[in-house]
Amino acid sequence: MPEPEIVLVEETPTAVIRGTVHVAELPGFFDRSFSTLFATVQEQGVTSAGAAFGLYRGLPTDTVDVEVGVATEGAVQPQGDVVPGTLPAARVARLVHTGSYDGLGASWSRLRSWMREQGLTPGPVLWEVYLDEPSPDMDPAGLHTELNWPIAEDAGRSGLG
């Protein structure tokens, strides 16, 4: 199992669909959002610049404030539910989760524990990058998801420490 690491990431333009969604409805929200996002980006002639992601504002409870998106090389124009966004420039704690999405919670907990052991305070947003595109015939054990949790520079800011 890979160890967490600290990396610097640059601000990245994105195309996103935002929502406040009940946790049980997340899979459907992601599926609908991805099909709309990719169609809109292609229609506008904007080039994708990375894998799809899900950005969470705060820790999920019964509901989650989420942005489903894709990194882009240029700005997307607002169209329907699709709006421009950004992944923030930050120092992040990163861990690559291998396996099905059902195991993501345990990997996020592992990353949070590691951050605490290092004396780092988690920031108020976190995001997953889906490095493999799932398909109906693939083995979910082979999926790779990059977990990114920005480090709060001021422990009083995050509210998640």
Confirm if 67 and 126 have CB atoms less than 8 A apart: no
Domain 5-156 top-level CATH class? alpha beta
Confirm if 128 and 60 have CB atoms less than 8 A apart: no
Confirm if 97 and 147 have CB atoms less than 8 A apart: yes
Summarised one tens digit per residue, pLDDT across range 39-92 is 999 999 999 998 999 999 988 789 999 999 999 998 999 999 999 999 999 999
- For 37-76, letters b (16+ CB in 10 Å) and e give beebbeeeebebeebbbbbbeeebeeebebbbbbbbeeeb
Q: Given a cut of 70, is residue 37 above it in pLDDT?
A: yes
* Residues 7-20, mean pLDDT to the nearest whole number: 96
Residue 37 φ then ψ, to 5°: -60, -50
Q: Given a cut of 90, is residue 111 above it in pLDDT?
A: yes
**For residues 14 and 35, what is the distance between their CA atoms, to the nearest angstrom?**
15
Q: Given a cut of 90, is residue 107 above it in pLDDT?
A: yes
- For 93-114, letters b (16+ CB in 10 Å) and e give bbbbbebebeebeebbebbbeb
What is the pLDDT, as a whole number, of residue 2?
82
